[in-house]
């Protein structure tokens, strides 16, 4: 393993993307590598090391699917068991789909349901409540016909663990993975962290020149931690040293955690991605026309890279990004963690580190992904600028501002409250607030308090103020 070349490439990439702190874990054959880079918090001297805790977002999903694999090994459930067999009150919009959704369906994102990500920003809904609200999610495609990534399915998988074992997902993952692999600085959620001293602070770009969702390049500022807990789709916090233990288990076909046949099931493609350029993997697909297949297994994307099968997953949480990948035939695995909210640096590092370990270096991945990032930023800013040009702020609302105030309700998302505050309106949703800037007529632009994470939302009221539509979420709320 060429550690000097690895360190040079990693440092160069983190610097190019203005990332305060990062960490990398690698397992290749019998060798392991774990290293921290940069600082815990921008502007402060404390350095990241291999024991620094980062949040790893959706790379948590592979841990949750592995827990389900253990239950399959123990005969407590089967991949193709209907979910209602173990959770009788599980309910989707369509009764036939409800009865036929299997454990496998949950883990490979083929329920035909949208993400409904705003549910997670409420901060007051636990997994059971989010599952209860899934009955109001109208299908956006037919059951089992295409891949549609959504976190709520993995929340249900966590409730399956609880239903079958009598233990919470947090306790079960701690006992059966973290303790079993001696991952002593790994935690199921922020609330389980025992020591916050060596902890990577989350960062984001606060400059509002670009919408939050495309702020890939700019000055990073430390932000308040989102403190995500008990989330089988994405709340693990861990370190580079601990991840080497997980990577070694992946290279041992799941040993000592799960049986080889079960591990094979976890890493076998289950659903083909039809429209990769409009998916979560669009930046990768744009730069990788040579990849022959894009599929999802159970908690892993499964694809080919330079003629090799690779299992990979990215993870984003407010203030953090990560990627975990392994090449089963090569006995090679890697993990990357950074403490910034929007970036493509972790994807660039996935390819750059893979190239070094595969000894096939002919591309500058950091520069290529920066080009993609700049393209996204320009495109989205162009759309926003165009929207501003068509705006007529002098077109007054149909009624006085006070008449828009009230509590509005939506079956899926719950309640939002609009209040009159001085000469403007304020919106409250769970733990979050937004100032409503009058846009034109009965339309307002919501500027959320979570400016670092959430794009502004366009809101349209009916002329009588009795309904309110959040256009970004395609959701209508009725005044109580």
Which run of H or of E encompasses 131?
Answer: helix 127-133
Task: Check residue 250 and give its pLDDT.
Answer: 98
Task: Check residue 421 and give its pLDDT.
Answer: 84
Task: Check residue 338 and give its pLDDT.
Answer: 98
Give the residue among 288, 318, 332, 345 at the shortest CA–CA distance from 431: 318
Rounded CA-CA distance 414/432 in Å is 13
Rounded CA-CA distance 54/174 in Å is 17
Q: How far is CA 387 from CA 316, 381, 428, 440, 445, in A?
A: 28, 10, 25, 12, 12
Q: What is the DSSP string of 95-125?
A: HHHHHH-BHHHHHTT-S-----THHHHHS--
Give 205-251 pLDDT, tens digit per residue: 999 999 999 999 999 999 999 999 999 999 999 999 999 999 999 99
Task: Check residue 290 and give its pLDDT.
Answer: 84
Residue 267's pLDDT band, with cuts at 50, 70 and 90, is: very high
CB burial class (10 A; 0-12, 13-18, 19+) of residue 428?
A: middle
Give 409-459 pLDDT, tens digit per residue: 999 999 999 999 888 999 999 999 999 999 999 999 999 999 999 999 999
Rounded CA-CA distance 41/54 in Å is 12
Give 373-422 pLDDT, tens digit per residue: 999 999 999 999 999 999 998 999 999 999 999 999 999 999 999 999 88
3-state secondary structure of 163: helix
Fold of the CATH domain 401-479: Lipocalin (2.40.128)
Task: Check residue 275 and give its pLDDT.
Answer: 86
Task: Check residue 214 and give its pLDDT.
Answer: 95
| For the chain, percent of residues with pLDDT exceeding 70 | 100
Q: Is 121 left (phi over 0), alpha (psi -120 to 50) or beta?
A: alpha
Instruction: Return the CATH number of the domain spanning residue range 3-77+150-380.
Output: 3.40.710.10
Give the residue among 92, 19, 83 at the shortest CA–CA distance from 337: 19
Task: Report the mean per-residue pLDDT for the chain.
Answer: 96
Task: Check residue 299 and give its pLDDT.
Answer: 98
Which run of H or of E encompasses 368?
Answer: helix 365-389
Query: Given a cut of 90, is residue 277 above it in pLDDT?
Result: no
From the CB of residue 32, how many other CB atoms can be counted at a distance below 10 Å? 18
Query: Given a cut of 90, is residue 21 above it in pLDDT?
Result: yes
Query: Given a cut of 90, is residue 1 above it in pLDDT?
Result: no
Q: How far is CA 153 from CA 22, 110, 116, 444, in A?
A: 29, 10, 11, 33
Radius of gyration of the chain (CA): 23
Q: In the chain, where does the domain assigned CATH 2.40.128.600 lie?
A: 401-479
Residue 115's pLDDT band, with cuts at 50, 70 and 90, is: confident
pTM score, whole prediction: 0.97
Give 321-380 pLDDT, tens digit per residue: 999 999 999 999 999 999 999 999 999 999 999 999 999 989 999 999 999 999 999 999
Give 185-209 pLDDT, tens digit per residue: 999 999 999 989 999 999 999 999 9
3-state secondary structure of 169: helix
Q: In the chain, where does the domain assigned CATH 3.40.710.10 lie?
A: 3-77+150-380
Please compute the mean of the pLDDT values over residues 84-94 and round it to a whole number.
98
Task: Check residue 329 and give its pLDDT.
Answer: 94
For residue 479, the cross-strand partners are 408
**Strand pairing class (294-296; 271-272):** antiparallel
**Strand pairing class (308-317; 301-305):** antiparallel
| For the chain, percent of residues with pLDDT exceeding 90 | 91
Task: Check residue 42 and give its pLDDT.
Answer: 97
CB 28 within 8 A of CB 359: no
From the CB of residue 72, how many other CB atoms can be counted at a distance below 10 Å? 20
CB burial class (10 A; 0-12, 13-18, 19+) of residue 110?
A: buried
């Amino acid at each position: 393993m060429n550690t000097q070349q690895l360190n040079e490439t990693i440092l160069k990439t983190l610097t190019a993307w203005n990332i305060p702190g990062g960490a990398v874990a690698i397992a290749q054959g019998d060798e392991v590598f774990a290293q921290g880079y940069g600082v815990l918090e921008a502007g402060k001297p404390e350095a990241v090391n291999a024991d620094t805790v980062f949040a790893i977002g959706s790379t948590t999903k592979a841990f949750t699917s592995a827990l389900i694999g253990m239950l399959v090994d123990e005969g407590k459930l089967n991949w193709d068991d209907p979910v209602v067999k173990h959770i009788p009150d599980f309910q989707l919009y369509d009764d036939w789909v409800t009865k036929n959704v299997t454990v496998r369906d949950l883990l490979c994102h083929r329920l035909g349901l949208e993400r409904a990500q705003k549910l997670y920003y409420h901060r007051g809904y636990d997994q059971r409540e989010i599952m209860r609200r899934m009955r109001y999610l109208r299908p956006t495609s037919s059951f089992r016909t295409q891949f549609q990534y959504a976190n709520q399915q993995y929340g249900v998988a966590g409730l399956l663990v609880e239903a079958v074992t009598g233990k919470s997902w947090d306790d079960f993952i701690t006992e059966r993975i973290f303790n079993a692999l001696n991952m002593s600085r790994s935690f199921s959620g922020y609330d389980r962290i025992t020591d916050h001293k060596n902890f990577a602070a989350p960062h984001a770009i606060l400059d509002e020149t670009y919408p939050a969702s495309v702020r890939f390049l700019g000055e990073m500022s430390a932000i308040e931690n989102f403190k995500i807990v008990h989330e089988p789709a994405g709340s693990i916090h861990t370190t580079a040293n601990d991840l080497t233990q997980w990577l070694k288990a992946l290279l041992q076909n799941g040993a000592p955690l799960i049986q080889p046949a079960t591990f094979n099931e976890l890493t076998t493609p289950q659903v083909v991605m039809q429209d990769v350029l409009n998916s979560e993997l669009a930046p990768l697909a744009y730069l990788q026309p040579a990849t022959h297949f894009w599929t999802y297994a159970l908690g892993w994307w499964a694809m080919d890279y330079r003629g090799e099968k690779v299992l990979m997953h990215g993870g984003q949480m407010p203030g953090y990004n990560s990627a975990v990948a392994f090449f089963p035939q090569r006995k090679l695995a890697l993990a990357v963690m950074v403490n910034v909210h929007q970036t493509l640096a972790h994807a660039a590092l996935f390819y750059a580190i893979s190239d070094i370990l595969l000894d096939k270096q002919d591309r500058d991945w950091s520069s290529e992904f920066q080009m993609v990032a700049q393209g996204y930023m320009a495109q989205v800013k162009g759309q926003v600028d165009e929207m501003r040009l068509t705006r007529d702020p002098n077109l007054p609302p149909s009624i006085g501002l006070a008449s828009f105030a009230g509590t509005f309700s939506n079956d899926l998302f719950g309640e939002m409250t609009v209040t009159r505050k001085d000469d403007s309106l304020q919106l409250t949703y769970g733990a979050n607030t937004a100032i409503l800037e009058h846009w034109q007529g009965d339309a307002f632009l919501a500027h959320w308090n979570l400016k670092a994470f959430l794009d502004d939302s366009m809101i349209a009221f009916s002329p009588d103020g009795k309904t309110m539509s959040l256009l970004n979420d395609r959701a209508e709320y009725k005044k109580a």
